Structure formats: C-alpha cells, structure tokens
Amino acid sequence: MLDIASLKNLLNQPKKIVITTHHKPDGDAMGSSLGLYNYLIQQGHHTTVITPSDYPDFLTWMPGNEEVVIYTDNKERSAQLIAEADIVFCLDFNNLSRINEMGELVRAADAKKIMIDHHLEPEDFDDYRHWDINACAAAQLVHSFITDILDNKKLINKDVATCLYTGIMTDSGSFRLPNTTSSVHRVIADLIDAGAVNYRIHELVYNSASENRLRFLGHCLSSCLEILPEFNTALIVVNKQDLQKYDVNTGDTEGIVNYALSIASIRLAAFIVERDDKVKLSLRSKGDFPANEICKLYFSGGGHRNAAGGQSSASLQEVVNQLKQILPEYKKLLIQ
C-alpha cells in the first residue's frame, strides 16, 4: 500500500495515467472519471479515460468526453495504454470483474492502482484506496481526494466542477436519497461556486431523451408493470422484442425502475430486462431493505442497500420466477 506522501510524490511529476470505471458507466462513473481527468490534465499528466463499454448519450456532453476511449471499440489501444500506464485510477467500482475483459489487463499492469469508490466489499487489487461506503457518489470522493488528500482545491475549475456535480447529482437521485447529507450539499455549493451551472446540468441529463424513450416508458408502465401486493413489491419486466420495437439504446432504461418504487406501499422495485446474452436486473428499495443482498446472493451482482443490480444467464421468465420465489424469505422486511 502507498502512503499519502508517496502518493503525492508519485503525482508530482507528469505521469502516464489511465482512469477507468465500471461496465455501462452511469452518471457517477462518467462524472467522477471526467472530473478527475480534468483535474489531472492541468498538471501535465498524460491522462486517458477508458470505459469498458459504451454509455448513454445523455452523458456525452461532459468536458473531456471527446477524448474518452471505449475499450470494446479500441481493444489494442486500450491494452497498450493500460500496459504502459504509471498509474491506473479505478473509479466507482471495487472489483475487477466490473470492468470485464479489462480487469485482467489492469491486474497484470505494472501501474500503481488507486481505487476511489463507495461500494461494499472491495477486492484487494489496489495500491492506494480512497474508499467510503457512506459517500453518496464516487464523484464526492474525487472531490475530497483533490481537496483533502492532495490539498489542491484551487484546481477545481469549471470543467472539474461540472463533471463532479453530475456524478453527485445522478448518484444521489438528484439530492433526495438518504446519503445526501449536509456535507454533500456543502460540496455541491463549492462546485457551483467553482463554475458548475446546476440548472443546465439537470437539463442536459434529465431533459434530453428521445421521443422513443418516452413512448418506451409509457409501454413499461402500462404493459410491463406487475404489482405483488402481498410483498409490497413491483416488477417491470421487459423482453427483447420490446427493446427492438422501441429502438431502446444504452441508457434508455435508466431510471425507469424508480417509477415502480414511487407507489406508496412499494418497498422493493425490480426492473428486469432481457438483453442479447443475459437477463439484467436493477433493484431499488426503500428504508433498510437490502436490495444488494438479493443481487449478491442470487444474481451475481451487488451494489448499495437501496440500489443494486445483477444478472442471470437463465431465461427472462425463469429470472422473474426465481425472484418471486425469493420474496417469501424477505416477507417480514417487506411488509413491516
């Protein structure tokens, strides 16, 4: 493990740096990565953000986005950048399986690996860890990494602030989830002071959908929603044909699960979608219901207590049945 002095020393001279984040990056994954990117380039580091997969269009407007390398489109170049890197930053994930094929490249790399993350149960692959499960976003931790650990608050410029604001906004559910503490609001105030234009960022992320996306949402709510009142649970189940019919792209399904959770009695909501090669689950819960436990125990996934995800190679119907069979075990927690 590196200590803070060695870490600062390492970052004192221009280095070759790769920043990576989890598969199918969300707002926090891209916001924290590009926030750190815009910080590091000011110090002359040769910095590249590599994502393991593509990401939604509503996240492509952030400063630095045009320089992002998508691994699946640029495997050779990505492998070379990782192999030659002095430092690899791992943001918003803590297990190398979350970056797919890239995981083994990062593991094998000579680079110092720095994890900045807020998920439970980190894997032991890193050389320095800025990790706090109470942080509402990895972007919040990038902010404290820059301000408290590196003591460089002055380098939080408009670009850095814009990206970090986006990460915190999206992972805190627009500042309404329980992890939105007063410290989070203080960080947000600093970011606005540093140039983040809050109302514009909300517009870019939340009011930039296609007509198809809205019609798909209508379809999900009218035809794919199933309520299980005895378990205070709501499911939205979407098959491959629906995805094709509405021309659903990466990111178009984001947030739909929250509509199921918006019903007063519902404590657990699941969005279950049939992708090309697997079934993906997104779980959301209220209060102390452990959505991540279900994902971890039954669906090769994980996440946070109130927002978790996983997957299965079984058929869509089998996954739905499996989840329904699991619910009785959690009945006490669901009906309290």
- Rounded to a whole number of angstroms, the minimum distance from the CB of residue 140 to Mn ion is 9
Rounded to an integer, what is the distance from CA 50 to the centroid of its chain? 14
Q: Which of 90, 301, 319, 330 binds ligand 5GP (CB under 6 A)?
A: 301
The closest of 31, 112, 20, 27 to 71, measured between CA atoms, is 20
Ramachandran sector of residue 107 (left: φ over 0; alpha: ψ -120 to 50; beta: rest)? alpha
Binding partner of residue 252 among Mn ion, ligand 5GP, none, CB cut-off 5 to 8 Å per kind: none
Binding partner of residue 138 among ligand 5GP, Mn ion, none, CB cut-off 5 to 8 Å per kind: Mn ion
Number of residues engaging ligand 5GP in binding (CB under 6 A): 12
Binding of residue 308 to ligand 5GP (CB under 6 A): yes
Query: Coil, helix or strand for 94?
Result: coil
For strands 279-285 and 268-274, give the pairing. Answer: antiparallel
Site for Mn ion, rule CB under 5 A: 28, 92, 138, 171
The β-bridge relationship of strands 225-228 and 233-238 is: antiparallel
Based on the shown chain and the rule CB under 6 A, indicate whether residue 307 belongs to the binding site for ligand 5GP. Answer: yes
Q: Which of residues 100-129 bind ligand 5GP (CB under 6 A)?
A: 119
Other beta carbons within 10 Å of 141 = 26
Residue 167 engages ligand 5GP in binding (rule: CB under 6 A): no
Q: What is the DSSP code (8-state) at residue 146?
A: I
* One of 21, 282, 285, 312 touching ligand 5GP (CB under 6 A): 282
* Residue 135 touches ligand 5GP, criterion: CB under 6 A: no
Does residue number 42 form part of the binding site for ligand 5GP (CB under 6 A)? no
Three-state DSSP string of 225-240: EEEEHHHCEEEEEECH
Stretch that binds ligand 5GP, among 1-9, 41-49, 308-316, 320-328 (CB under 6 A): 308-316
Helices (H) and strands (E) in the chain, counts: 14, 12
**Contact positions toward ligand 5GP, by CB under 6 A?**
26, 119, 282, 301-304, 307-311
